[in-house]
Amino acid sequence: MAFLADIAFQYLEKTHTRRRMAHAYLITGPEGSGKRNLAARMIALVNGGEVSENVEALKDEAVRIIRPESKSRRITVAQIRELEHSFHMSRSGAKMKIGLVLDADRMAQEAENAFLKTLEEPPANCLLLLVTSAPELLLDTILSRCIQVPLQGEDGALLRSEEAKTVADWLHRYFRNGPCSLPRSLALARHFSGYLKEVKEAIEKGFKEQLKEETESYAKTTEGDWLARREKAMEALASSLYLQRRNALVEVLVSWYGDALRQQAGYGKLDFPDYADTTRRIAEEMPPEELSKRIAAAEELRELLNTNVQEILALEVSFLNAFG
C-alpha cells in the first residue's frame, strides 16, 4: 500500500517517538511523490534542524549523501566503502550518523554487494536511507533488509504532465470543431493509439540506451549474471512505466468529462482550468445522464486495457461510446 508523504511521515514520527526506528529504510515512489523531501524530514526528525528542499544542504559531518557520480552514472563501490568508513568514525555530539543514497537503483554490482554487507552488519547508532523510483532494480537481499516506505504520487500530478496536456488539447480541439460523431471519435481513438505507441517506444528506447551504456562499461568487469538480470529487470520496469503512463492518459479522458460534470454542479475546482470554456460548453449541451454515460465509457476503457483485449480494439470501442 502506497502512502502520501505526509501520512508516511506521521507513521515514522510515531516510530521514532517509541524508539523503534529501523536501521535502514527504502523510500520509493513515482516522480513528484516527495521521496527526497521525506528523507530530509526523517533526517531532521532524527538529528534536529531545519528541513531543506536542497538535498545538498543536508550534508554535514553526520550526514553523508551518495548519488550516481561516475562517468557511467553509477554509484561505485568506492562511494559505498567511503560511506561505510564514515560510519565507523567517532561521532560528533549526540547526532546519529546517516547515509542518504539517492537513485539507489544505480548501484553497480560491486557497490550492491558492499552495501549489502553494511546492511547485514549495521554499525551502532547509524541510519541508512535509500531513495529510488525503481526498487525492482535492487537486489532482493537489499530489499528484504530495508523497511520499505512506498509513496504515491501527489494528487493530480499526472494530470499536470506534458503528455496529459497534449491529450487535453486534442479534446479541446475535438469539441471545438463540432458535435460528436462516430467517424471523428474513431479518428480520435487512432490518434490516441498512435500517441501511446510513441510513448511506449520512447520509454523502451531510453532503457535500451541505458542498458547499452552499462553493458559497454561493465561487460569486462562484472561477474556472474548481473547484466542478464539487469536486462530482465529493465524490461519489466519499462513495461510497468508504460502501463503507468497509459493509465494516466486514460485518466485524462475521465477527468475531462468530470470537469464538465463539476461545472454543471457548480463546483469550482477543475482538473483542466485552462479549458474551462470548452468543458462549460459541454456541460451546457449534455444533460447529466449523458455525461455520466460518457464518463462510464471512459472508465470502462481502464478496465478493458487491464485484460487481454487488443489495445486498439479497446480504444475504438470505448472512444465510440465516450465520444461518438
pLDDT digits (tens, 9 = 90+) for 221-236: 555 566 777 777 778 7
> What region, left, alpha or beta, does residue 321 occupy, with left being phi > 0 and alpha being psi -120 to 50 degrees?
alpha
Is the separation of the CB atoms in 316 and 186 below 8 Å?
A: yes
For residue 238, the one-letter residue type is A
- Residue 30 CB neighbours (<10 A): 17
* Higher pLDDT pick, 57 / 203: 203
Is the separation of the CB atoms in 56 and 27 below 8 Å?
A: no
> Cα 64 vs. chain centroid, distance in angstroms?
25
CATH architecture of 5-150: 3-Layer(aba) Sandwich (3.40)
pLDDT digits (tens, 9 = 90+) for 227-277: 777 777 778 778 878 887 888 889 899 889 999 988 888 877 888 888 999
pLDDT at 194 over 80: yes
Q: What is the pLDDT of residue 38?
A: 92
- Taking the C-alpha atoms of 222, 228, 232 and 234 in order, what is their torsion angle to the nearest 10 degrees? 30
The residue to which cell 526523517 is assigned:
42
Nearest of 290, 286, 319, 274 to residue 172 by alpha carbon: 274
Whole-angstrom distance, CA of residue 258 vs CA of residue 246: 19
pLDDT digits (tens, 9 = 90+) for 124-178: 889 999 999 888 888 889 999 999 999 876 655 556 678 888 999 999 998 888 7
Please state the domain extents for the chain. 5-150, 158-323
pLDDT digits (tens, 9 = 90+) for 114-130: 999 889 888 888 999 99
Q: What share of the chain is helix, strand, coil (3-state, %, to 5)?
A: 60, 10, 30
Q: What is the pLDDT of residue 251?
A: 87
Is the separation of the CB atoms in 137 and 237 below 8 Å?
A: yes
Give the predicted TM-score (pTM) of the model. Answer: 0.62
Whole-angstrom distance, CA of residue 29 vs CA of residue 38: 11
Length of the chain: 324
Whole-angstrom distance, CA of residue 282 vs CA of residue 232: 46
